Amino acid sequence: MSRSLGVLSTALLLSLAFSETAAAQGFSVNEHGSCVMGRGGTGVALPCADASTILFNPAGIAGTLGWTVAAGVTPIYAGGGFTNDLYQTTDELDNGVVPVPHAYVSYGISSKLAAGFGFFVPYGLGTQWKTDFDGRFLGYDNNLQSMYFQPTLAYDVGKGVKIGAGFDFVVGSLKLTQRADLSEFEAAPGITFGQVGIPFHSEFSDGKLEAHNATGFGGNFGISWDATDWISFGARYMTRVKLDYTGTATFAAVPTGIVLPPGNPLSILLQLPPDQPLPMDAVLEQADLYSEGQPLSDQEVKTSITMPDQGVVGFALRATPKFTFLFDLQWMNWSVFDTLRAEFEYQDEDLVLVENYRDTYGLRFGVDWAATEKLAVRGGYLYHGAAAPDETVTALLPEGVRNEFTLGLGYQFSPMFRADLAYQHLQQNDRRGRTRDALPGQAPTVELNSGIYKFYAHLFGATLSVHF
C-alpha cells in the first residue's frame, strides 16, 4: 500500500496558516492596556498614563518624567459556533478563558528624551472545538503565542512634535491539533481510500504540530503632534515580522471502527481475501504508518509566517477639560498572506498554500470623561473589516466583520498608583464558512462553505501602574 503524507500535511499546514491569521486578525483587538481598551482601542494621538503608548505610539513616552511601571492582563472568553446548513445543528466553540498579559516600563531620561520597554502578546489566543465537530479535520485545539519584547526610545523635538521608535524582538510558538481523514489518503498509487468507498471524514489519526521559540524582528515607529491645547494627532507604523518556525509533528492512531463487508474493492486492490470482512484498523496497523521514517512518524516541520505590517492614524479632540474624543483608523496589511510555504521532513515537495487574504481597516472611536479628579470613565466603539476572503472562513478562523463596544474606568489612587479596568464586547457578523478542505494543490472555493460561523467574545482588562 502506498501512502502519501501530502493530504495530511496539507491539512496541517492549512491549519497552520489559518490559525495564525485567526489569532492575529480574529482576536487582535488591541487589548494591551486597559486604559486604551476602555476607550475603544484609541491611543495613537493621546497616550494613556500607563506607558502602554510604547505599543500604541512609541512617541508618547517622550516628555514624561521618572519611572512608570505598568502590568496587566486581559482575560478573554470567546464563544461561538458553527451551524451546519444540512442538519441545522450547531457545534459550539469550546474555548476556555485565555489570559493575555501586558507589561510596560518607561523612564524619562530628560524632559526631551525617554526610554521604555514593552512586553505584549498581540497574537496570544486559540480556538478549541469538541472532537466530534466536523471541523476537527481542519483543527480542533489550537494555540498560538507571539510575544513581543520592545525596547523603545522617544524624543520631544519641540513645537508639540514627538517621535519614537521601538525594536521588536518577537518569540512565537504554536500548537495545532487535528484529525486526519482516511478518505483522502492513498490506498494505492493514485487511488485514495475515498475512491474505494471510505466515507468522507473518516478519522484515523490525530495529528499535533508544536513549534516553539520561533524568532523574528521588527520595528514600531510613532509620531505625535499636539497642534493646539485641544487637538492632537498621531500616527504609528509597525513593521511586518517574519517568524521562522521549526516544529515537530506527532501522530497517534485513532480507531476508525470501519469494517468493510466481504467483497469490498479494497480487499481486491490490496490482494487480500475478498470473501472476508476487512477491519480497516487492522489494515492500518499492518501498514506501519507510525514507525520511524514513515509518513506518520514524528517528524520535523518548517515554515515561515509573516505578521503583517500595520499602520494607525488618529486624532484626539479635547472638547472640554473633562471630555476627550479620540478617533483612530487602522490599516493592516493582511494581503501579505497570499501564499504560505512549508516543508515536512518526510515529504519530497514543499507545500504551497493559497491564502488570498486582503488588507483590512479598523475604525475606532473613544471618549474619555474625567468624572472627578481621580476617576475617569471611558467608552468606545470599534469596527473591523474581515481579512479572510469568503472561501477561507474555517473552524480555525471564524473570522468576519466585527463591531465591538467598550467601557472603562480609571482611578488614580495616589500620585503614585493608578488602576484601569475595561470591558469589551466583540460581536462578529455571522459568516458562511466551511469544515472541509479543498483537494491538495487546489485553492479553496466558496462552494465548500457548508454553514454559518458565529463568533463573539467578552474581554475584561485590568492594568495597574506605578509612577515614581
Partner 1 sequence: MDRSLRLNRFVAGALVAATLIVSACDKESLQPPTASNVSFGAQPLFTRYVAMGNSITSGIQSAGINDSLQLLAYPVLLASQMGLEIPTRTVSWTSEWNVPLMRGPGCPAPYTDLWTQTRLGGTASDDCAYRSTPIPTFINNVAYAGATALEQTTYYDPAIPPSVTDVFRTFLLGGSTPFEVVKKMQATFVTVWSGSTDIDDALTDETNPGDPSLYPDVPTFTSWYTALMDSLNTLESLEGGVLIGAVNVTSAPYVSPGGAYFLASQQPPLDAFLTVLPNCLATEPIPGTALSAPVYVPFHYGAPIMGAASAGVPTTLDCSVDEVISAVEARDMIVTVAGYNAAIEAAADARGWPYWDPNVLLLALQQQDPSSIRLFPAYSPADPQHDTEPFGWALSLDGLHPSSRAHGLIADALIIVINTAYSAGIPVIFP
**By the criterion CB under 8 A, which residues form the site for partner 1?**
83, 85-88, 183, 191-192, 194-202, 230, 256-266, 268, 275, 277, 280, 317-321, 323, 325, 327, 363, 365, 367, 381, 383, 400-401, 403, 429-432, 436, 438-439, 447-448, 450-452
In the complex, the smallest distance separating the C-beta of residue 198 from partner 1, rounded to whole angstroms, is 5
In the complex, the smallest distance separating the C-beta of residue 321 from partner 1, rounded to whole angstroms, is 7
In the complex, the smallest distance separating the C-beta of residue 88 from partner 1, rounded to whole angstroms, is 6
Q: What is the rounded CA–CA span in Å between residue 188 and residue 185? A: 9
In the complex, the smallest distance separating the C-beta of residue 145 from partner 1, rounded to whole angstroms, is 30
Angle 184-189-195 (CA atoms, 0-180°, nearest 5)?
40
User: Which string of b and e fits 6-26 if b means at least 16 CB within 10 Å?
Assistant: bbbbbbbbbbbbbbbbbbbbb
In the complex, the smallest distance separating the C-beta of residue 442 from partner 1, rounded to whole angstroms, is 9
Q: Which residues contact 280 (CB under 8 A, 6 or more apart)?
A: 182, 198, 204, 256, 258, 259, 260
Q: What is the rounded CA–CA span in Å between residue 298 and residue 295? A: 9
Handedness of CA 131, 133, 134, 139 (dihedral sign): negative
Q: What is the rounded CA–CA span in Å between residue 299 and residue 213? A: 17
Instruction: For partner 1, give the closer residue by CB, 218 or 451.
Output: 451
Instruction: For partner 1, give the closer residue by CB, 367 or 426.
Output: 367
Q: Per DSSP, what are the bridge partners of residue 351?
A: 342
- What grid cell was written down for 276? 472476508
In the complex, the smallest distance separating the C-beta of residue 12 from partner 1, rounded to whole angstroms, is 18
Instruction: For partner 1, give the closer residue by CB, 268 or 352.
Output: 268
Instruction: For partner 1, give the closer residue by CB, 367 or 388.
Output: 367
Instruction: For partner 1, give the closer residue by CB, 147 or 401.
Output: 401
- What grid cell was written down for 399? 473570522
Q: What is the rounded CA–CA span in Å between residue 453 and residue 395? A: 8
Instruction: For partner 1, give the closer residue by CB, 213 or 320.
Output: 320
Instruction: For partner 1, give the closer residue by CB, 170 or 266.
Output: 266
In the complex, the smallest distance separating the C-beta of residue 396 from partner 1, rounded to whole angstroms, is 18
Q: What is the rounded CA–CA span in Å between residue 102 and residue 462? A: 10
3-class secondary-structure state, position 13? helix
User: For 423, phi and psi rounded to 5 degrees?
Assistant: -130, 140
